Amino acid sequence: MDKLKALQKANPHIAIYAVQDPAFKPYGRVVEMDTKAFCETAEAAVTFPEEGSKYLASVPELEALPEAADLRQGLCGQLDEQIGLCFGHSKQLNALEWHTCNEFNVAVRELVLLLAKRSDLDADGRLDASKIKAFYLAQGQMVEVYSDTLHFCPCEVTKNGFSSIVGLQRGTNLPLEDRKQGLLWAKNKWLIAHEDNTSLVQRGAVPGIYGENWVINPID
């Protein structure tokens, strides 16, 4: 936990918890699973960007692993689960999204998740950013994030960037077949942007988050 302590010291403006902390329980649960093959395959499957982040809804190399079949069988009730990857560089909240299914994340590279609950939304559907909590995942840790948990692109812990495997029901996050409808941003993906994120708002996102647009300062 030395890395977490260093991260907390570098970010006194926001409390950062380990996912093993009881504070994580409303948002998801830690999954005890050997993730070595997931992590090694993910690192070899993509070229890491020098700046910005990328999301791939489905990575064939990951989906072909026996561990992916175990995930579908043991944790997804035999439903078809796409195994994708979100990776790159990010350190600010900027937006939050949710799905109608739970999401599985594996920290290929250590990361921080910024999370809230749908029940935290105001009566008008907006979110006070002070209700958001930050959680640290060490490399190799796996969590199941509940469907009513608001989340978005992870934040990096070091300047080497973050990388997270993303397991979701097949088709989630793919482009809509028709125009965007209200908060529906992609298939099975509802999204609200921070009101300071003008680029996303200009693209049609609802400015539904107010208050601090949290930044996680990397530790090296």
Averages of pLDDT over runs of 10 residues in the chain (220 residues) are 92 98 98 96 95 97 95 88 97 98 97 98 98 98 98 97 97 89 93 97 95 96
Q: Are strands 127-128 and 206-210 parallel, antiparallel or unpaired?
A: parallel
Distance CA 143, CA 20 (A): 10
Whole-number Å distance between alpha carbons of 142 and 158: 19
Do 214 and 196 contact (CB within 8 A), yes or no?
A: no
Which pLDDT value is given to residue 152? 98
What pLDDT score was predicted for residue 182?
86
Residue 13 CA to residue 134 CA, distance in Å, equals: 11
Find the DSSP H helices in 51-152.
Answer: 60-63, 66-74
Q: Angle 187-191-193 (CA atoms, 0-180°, nearest 5)?
A: 150
pTM: 0.96
CA distances, 112 to each of 115, 122, 193, 214 (Å):
10, 25, 18, 12
Q: Of 203, 60, 9, 77, give the one whose Cα is nearest residue 193.
A: 203
Tokens (6 digits) for 6: 């260093």
Residues 6+ apart with CB under 8 A from 4: 16, 18, 136, 138
List of domains in the chain = 2-210 (2.60.120.10)
* Predicted local distance difference test score (pLDDT) of residue 8: 97
201, amino acid identity: V
Query: What is the gyration radius of the CA atoms in the chain, in angstroms?
Result: 16
Q: If DSSP codes are grouped into helix, strand and coil, which group holds residue 30?
A: strand
Residues composing the chain: 220
Residue 1: its pLDDT value, please? 63
